[in-house]
Amino acid sequence: MGLVAHGLGGVKDLPVPAWIFYWGGAVVLVVSFVALGALWREPLLARHAHSRRVPRWLDRVVLGTPLRVAVQSLSVILLALVFLSALVGDSDPLQNLAPTWIYVVFWLGVPLLSILFGNVWRVLSPWLAIADGFVWLRERTGREAQALADYPERLGRWPGAVLLFAFVALELAYTDPSSPRTLAFATAIYTYVTLFGFASFGRETWQERGEGFAVAFSFLARMAPITVVDGRLVLRWPFTGLHGAETIPGSLAVIAVLLGSVGFDGLSRTSWWQNLLADVEAPYVLDNQGLGDLLVALVSLAGLGAVIFLVGLAYRGACALMRSTVDAPRSLAPDFLLSLVPIAFVYAVAHYFSLFVIQGQFAIPLLSDPLGRGWDVLGTSGFTPNLAPFSPDTIWYVQAGALVAGHVTGLAVAHDRAVTIVHDRQDALRSQYPMLALMVLYTVGGLWLLSRG
């Protein structure tokens, strides 16, 4: 991210060798698989997906117009502030609000809010707020706000996947992702594309299919114990929103970007990858630094794309093996896709939670001085962040624990789907052998990347 190393270091001197964690994670998954086969004999997620309405007064407050308008207004103000900071503020990323706000508070904070409170991005999105405000003004003048075109259904969520990939490519492949001026340009482009999408295809359609962040956060929100059904705020068991198939084209691409981008971030921190980039750049350091930076960015972009592709390919391969195991008449990829959602989230937790806690504290003084001009608007400029809230061992244990827990959850979601669509219990269990292998691969691979960072 260019701000600090992503909290991946400091795990070389553990009291227990790293390979024990690899084997331990694999054993936990195998034991969990056996337990699921013995105890989870029928679908449970769909059965417990029923919702319980909250008290009417709470529903009116949370979903009421006053709170929504207030939050949306604040989100637009924050977007303007972050853009202004990036455009004219201090060029030092550590003295400018934009890099910390975009890469830490927004990119790491909203996913956490999504799994706790549901699809909060529908209210927090400044772009949707701008579109809502435009529609409201247009309707008040007696004109109807209509989409300019019908959305091609064959595109599915591919536009969202492309925009999400563009963001992670800026974050992980560009040579200077924390440059405030670069972020100002990227924010302006994304704002234009998003508002154009809303105008062209309608707010709901583009929010569900084309707005990259909205699509990604909506997947994570399916794990939340809170959701909205028929305009009412309701409670449900966590993870029950992950039952069922996901048939919209491009859905796998979105989840692969979420999962693969974090995997590539871990890979990019290894000495092997750093040496590779150094070898690519070395011939041009003295004579043509610009060309060297371009080549490094292209190699990083190719690496990012390759890891994302391999994540999707491994999942497709596991689903093909499952299909052959039970002689299914169609692809099973849509049926088990949502089992990857918890894994995508815990990968982010494992890689970034220390960054979120440590670097996120810097947002407090930066909010008082967003442009780096020596201001103290909120009286928080003197706040001193705690740069060592965790020991390196604690960080590693949280990382390893999150990865294993997330993969066990994914295995349970996949098992629930298997006993739903495969009527014979033994066939359902046998069909999950490839999924178990996939989860072990993802777990051990994730732990290895963390230990190499």
Instruction: Give helix 392-421 / helix 341-360 axis angle, nearest 10°.
Output: 160
> Among residues 148, 146, 182, which one has the least CA distance to residue 167?
182
Distance of CA 143 to the CA centre of its chain: 38
Per-residue pLDDT, 5: 44
Q: How far apart are CA 120 and CA 111, in angstroms?
A: 9
pLDDT in tens, 99-140: 999 999 999 999 999 999 999 999 999 999 999 999 999 888
Q: Measured over all CA atoms, what is the biggest interatomic distance in the chain, rounded to whole angstroms?
A: 70
Determine how β-strand 232-235 pairs with β-strand 226-229: antiparallel
pLDDT along the chain (453 residues), means of 10: 43 60 85 88 82 85 92 96 96 94 95 95 96 91 85 96 97 94 97 96 94 97 91 90 93 96 91 92 87 94 96 94 88 93 91 89 93 91 86 82 90 92 85 90 84 69
The DSSP symbol for 7 reads S
Per-residue pLDDT, 1: 47
pTM of the full structure: 0.92
The DSSP symbol for 374 reads S
Instruction: Give helix 289-326 / helix 158-172 axis angle, nearest 10°.
Output: 140
